[in-house]
């Protein structure tokens, strides 16, 4: 241990995660803080990191205010409807009013945005989506961040946040390790912006066996965005609002361009439109929400699941008609080649030519994230000109821990921000963080050396555990002395799947299942003290598992607390099978106490600011 180098890095603003939100935060920090030291730390390489690594074919959040296409209020109404009434309208409005400017910057920086040849406007895929040639979306955005940062530290996984020596509820930086060299890093900072993406692989994925590792959300989205703030006591919101996606089967290929641009549609195995069939039963569960347009994403999933249960599967996307048009056929394939190449390969390997065969759809395992048709994440202070006083305790996008900000998947209550909205939220958080630092007037936080030393020991412990115990390995990888990260991950996925509403129970859970699930999560937590890592790569896996586990606990706690089925199609509380607006038209909040390991739950009001 003593041989491991410790590198100290001081900064004014530390951005954790260099994905869409992190790049936005880094870029904007420099704009407002010309003389500040701005550091971005990323566990991969920002050039191709995060959920946009492989590229995108559409920017899903663009108002088009320059052409009077939509106004921010329209977007708030849209997101509110999709999330069955529950969004932070102040935060959503704040993103929507700034997101167009972000997209214009992307174009200025070289991102090719398709234009409608007739109108000269951006080519719309849908009401909110514009089409891009986005294979290089991430490198373009990363370049802006690189030029803005004082320093970007790639290949460093952040494991813990640091708090002020004299004030526990104030952030002071973070620690992590370089996944290539094994050096330990202590980042001391006046303000920290967490932008570490969402969470895949907390529920057992549909892709197992030879497909293991394939998920819809990026497999490297390891819940750090939630675990890091949770560990230091930041309040979280809507963590029960996990998302399930209807996607092309086995490759999780996107359907947006197919539905919206190619105008394909779904039907059951017998060629019937099945959605209308389930309308009345859905109305009995959730009331009028099913009559809203567009029909909320979760309810469309629900109709899909009901149809499958009733024996109408497989559900297929009708592509045969659209693909007769060579232009649409090209778009259909390009859509995958620009963002989910794997789906094209799956189709090729399964003899599916969408011109002749209508491909199957399926519903994914659940994910936890804050930027899609879902809004899990940290509870954040809102914009001072728009947020109700109850949502304001200081600076925009600051969590309930002083100096700790967040953006993108990290921040809860704001669905439908997607790539452009996440970058925008990073910019918003950065501007507020600069203001926070300016107001500090030099009164920066103090880091405890003893805390850093303790964390260093803790972070590398799995390597020591492996070194000491590996001589006793019995069959293959099994040792009486440790569990490996893959063992822990599979146990976690199984618990979440079977007890907290994964695919094997048809996304269904109840109070007794959750109670048992939490007991089992507690046992896994105990075993995490004995996790072994063979090398630095496995050490990263070990810490990713720690983060996934803590976030999973939080999901289970929230799911238990909300005694209703708010989002059928995402998950079901079988013991409370209906939406209950009288009691649950509210946000759920949790706070973790790391000393006792206990969670405190509460409700927070939902304010409808937009008519």
Ligand X SMILES: Cc1cc2nc3c(=O)[nH]c(=O)nc-3n(C[C@H](O)[C@H](O)[C@H](O)COP(=O)(O)OP(=O)(O)OC[C@H]3O[C@@H](n4cnc5c(N)ncnc54)[C@H](O)[C@@H]3O)c2cc1C
Q: Establish if 346 lies at the interface with ligand X (CB under 6 A).
A: no
Which residues between 538 and 577 bind ligand X (CB under 6 A)? Answer: none
Q: Give which of 454, 446, 466 is closest to 184, Cα–Cα.
A: 454
Contact in structure between 502 and 366 (CB atoms under 8 Å): yes
CB of 338 to ligand X, least distance (A): 9
Q: Establish if 130 lies at the interface with ligand X (CB under 6 A).
A: no
Cis omega (within 30 of 0) on the bond before 376? Answer: no
Contact in structure between 274 and 303 (CB atoms under 8 Å): yes
CA distances from 29 to 64, 133, 174, 379 (A): 26, 28, 18, 22
Q: DSSP of 430-457, one letter per residue?
A: HHHHHHHHHHHTT------HHHHHHHHH
- The rounded distance, in Å, linking the Cα atoms of 378 and 398 is 9
Which range binds ligand X by CB under 6 A, 18-26, 31-39, 85-93, 201-209? 18-26
Q: Establish if 215 lies at the interface with ligand X (CB under 6 A).
A: no
Q: DSSP of 478-523, one letter per residue?
A: --SS-B-HHHHHHHHHHHHHHHTT-GGGTTEE-HHHHHHHHHHHHH
Which range binds ligand X by CB under 6 A, 50-58, 267-275, 473-481, 490-498? 50-58
Which range binds ligand X by CB under 6 A, 69-77, 193-201, 295-303, 456-464? 193-201
Q: Establish if 220 lies at the interface with ligand X (CB under 6 A).
A: yes
Alpha helix positions (H), 67-205: 72-82, 89-108, 137-148
Q: DSSP of 538-596, one letter per residue?
A: HHHHHHHHHHHHHHHHHHHHHHHH--S--STTT-EETTS-S--HHHHSEEEEEEEETTT
Q: Which is nearer to ligand X, 125 or 493 (CB)?
A: 125
Q: Establish if 303 lies at the interface with ligand X (CB under 6 A).
A: no
Q: Is 182 strand, coil or helix? A: coil
DSSP code of residue 126:
S
| Bridge partners of residue 378, in order along the sequence | 236, 411
User: Looking at 9, 13, 14, 44, which residue binds ligand X (CB under 6 A)?
Assistant: 44
Q: Which is nearer to ligand X, 194 or 282 (CB)?
A: 194
Which residues between 232 and 271 bind ligand X (CB under 6 A)? Answer: 254
User: Looking at 9, 14, 51, 141, which residue binds ligand X (CB under 6 A)?
Assistant: 51
User: Looking at 217, 274, 323, 571, which residue binds ligand X (CB under 6 A)?
Assistant: 217
Number of residues that bind ligand X (CB under 6 A): 39
User: Looking at 63, 79, 141, 157, which residue binds ligand X (CB under 6 A)?
Assistant: 157
Q: Establish if 419 lies at the interface with ligand X (CB under 6 A).
A: yes
Which range binds ligand X by CB under 6 A, 39-47, 443-451, 507-515, 598-606? 39-47
Q: Which is nearer to ligand X, 98 or 562 (CB)?
A: 98
Q: Establish if 52 lies at the interface with ligand X (CB under 6 A).
A: yes
Residue 255 tokens read as 């359907």
CB of 245 to ligand X, least distance (A): 9
CB of 368 to ligand X, least distance (A): 12
Q: Establish if 158 lies at the interface with ligand X (CB under 6 A).
A: yes
CB of 142 to ligand X, least distance (A): 9
- The rounded distance, in Å, linking the Cα atoms of 27 and 46 is 13
Taken as a whole, the chain contains a residue count of 611
Say how many C-beta atoms besides its own lie within 10 A of residue 596's C-beta.
8
- The rounded distance, in Å, linking the Cα atoms of 587 and 128 is 26
Residue 292 tokens read as 């809203």
User: Looking at 14, 39, 59, 243, which residue binds ligand X (CB under 6 A)?
Assistant: 59
CB of 573 to ligand X, least distance (A): 27
Q: Establish if 222 lies at the interface with ligand X (CB under 6 A).
A: yes
Which range binds ligand X by CB under 6 A, 19-27, 30-38, 183-191, 580-588? 19-27
Q: Which is nearer to ligand X, 157 or 236 (CB)?
A: 157
- The rounded distance, in Å, linking the Cα atoms of 253 and 247 is 6
Q: Give which of 112, 154, 115, 108 is closest to 136, Cα–Cα.
A: 112
Q: Give which of 179, 178, 174, 235 is closest to 22, Cα–Cα.
A: 174
CB of 395 to ligand X, least distance (A): 19
CB of 244 to ligand X, least distance (A): 14
Which residues between 347 and 406 bind ligand X (CB under 6 A)? Answer: 371
Q: Establish if 413 lies at the interface with ligand X (CB under 6 A).
A: no
Q: Which is nearer to ligand X, 61 or 308 (CB)?
A: 61
Burial class (CB in 10 A: 0-12, 13-18, 19+), 48: middle
Q: Establish if 60 lies at the interface with ligand X (CB under 6 A).
A: yes
Looking at the chain, the number of H-run helices and the number of E-run strands are 16, 19
Binding mask of the shown chain, residues 194 to 213, with x at each position contacting ligand X by CB under 6 A: -xxx----------------
CB of 196 to ligand X, least distance (A): 4
Q: Which is nearer to ligand X, 58 or 401 (CB)?
A: 58
CB of 58 to ligand X, least distance (A): 4
By CB under 6 A, name the binding residues for ligand X: 16-22, 41-44, 49-52, 56, 58-60, 157-158, 195-197, 216-218, 220-222, 224, 254, 371, 408-409, 418-420, 422
């Amino acid at each position: 241990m003593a041989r491991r180098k410790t590198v100290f890095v001081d900064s004014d603003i530390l951005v954790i995660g260099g994905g869409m939100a992190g790049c936005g935060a880094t870029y904007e920090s420099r704009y407002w803080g010309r003389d500040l030291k701005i550091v971005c730390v990323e566990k991969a390489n920002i050039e191709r990191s995060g959920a946009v690594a492989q590229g995108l074919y559409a920017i899903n959040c663009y108002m088009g205010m320059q052409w009077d296409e939509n106004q921010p209020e329209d977007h708030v109404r849209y997101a509110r409807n999709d999330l069955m009434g529950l969004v932070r309208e102040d935060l959503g409005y704040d993103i929507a009013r700034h997101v167009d400017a972000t997209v214009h910057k992307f174009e200025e920086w070289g991102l090719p945005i398709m234009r409608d040849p007739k109108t000269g406007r951006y080519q719309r895929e849908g009401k909110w989506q514009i089409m891009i040639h986005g294979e290089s979306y991430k490198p373009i955005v990363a370049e802006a961040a690189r030029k803005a940062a004082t320093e970007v530290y790639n290949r460093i996984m952040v494991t813990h946040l640091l708090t002020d020596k004299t004030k526990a509820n104030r952030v002071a930086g973070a620690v992590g390790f370089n996944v290539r060299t094994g050096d330990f890093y202590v980042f001391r900072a006046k303000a920290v912006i967490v932008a570490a993406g969402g969470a895949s692989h907390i529920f057992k994925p549909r892709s197992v066996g030879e497909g293991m590792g394939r998920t819809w959300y990026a497999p490297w989205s390891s819940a750090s965005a939630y675990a890091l703030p949770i560990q230091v006591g930041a309040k979280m919101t809507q963590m029960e609002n996990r998302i399930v996606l209807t996607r092309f089967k086995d490759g999780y290929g996107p359907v947006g361009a197919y539905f919206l641009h190619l105008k394909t549609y779904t039907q059951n195995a017998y060629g019937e439109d099945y959605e209308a069939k389930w309308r009345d039963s859905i109305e009995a569960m959730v009331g009028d929400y099913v009559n809203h347009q567009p029909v909320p994403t979760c309810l469309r999933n629900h109709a899909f699941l009901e149809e499958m249960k009733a024996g109408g599967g497989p559900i297929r996307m009708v592509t045969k008609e659209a693909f007769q048009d060579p232009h649409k056929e090209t778009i259909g394939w390009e859509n995958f080649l620009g963002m989910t190449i794997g789906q094209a390969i799956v189709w090729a390997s399964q003899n599916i030519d969408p011109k002749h065969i209508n491909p199957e759809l399926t519903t994914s395992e659940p994910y936890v994230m804050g930027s899609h048709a879902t809004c899990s994440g940290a509870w954040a202070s809102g914009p001072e000109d728009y947020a109700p006083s109850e949502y304001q305790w200081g600076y925009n996008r600051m969590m309930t821990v002083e100096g700790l900000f967040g953006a993108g998947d990290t921040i809860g209550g704001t669905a439908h921000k997607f790539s452009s909205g996440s970058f925008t939220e990073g910019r918003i958080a950065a501007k507020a963080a600069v203001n926070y630092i300016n107001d500090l007037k030099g009164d920066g936080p103090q880091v405890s050396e003893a805390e850093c030393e303790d964390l260093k020991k803790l972070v590398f412990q799995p390597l020591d555990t492996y070194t000491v115990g590996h001589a006793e390995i019995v069959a293959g990888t099994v040792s009486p002395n440790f569990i490996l990260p893959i063992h822990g991950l599979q146990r976690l996925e199984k618990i979440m799947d079977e007890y907290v509403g994964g695919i094997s129970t048809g996304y269904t859970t109840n109070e007794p299942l959750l109670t048992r699930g939490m007991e089992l999560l507690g046992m896994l937590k105990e075993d995490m003290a004995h996790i072994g890592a063979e090398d630095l790569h496995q050490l990263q896996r070990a810490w990713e598992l720690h983060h996934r586990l803590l976030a999973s606990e939080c999901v289970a706690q929230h799911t238990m607390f909300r005694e209703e089925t708010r989002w059928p199609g995402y998950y079901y509380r079988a013991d409370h099978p209906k939406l209950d607006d009288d009691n649950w038209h509210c946000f759920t909040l949790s706070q973790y106490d790391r000393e006792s390991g206990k969670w405190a739950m509460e409700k927070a009001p939902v304010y409808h600011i937009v008519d």
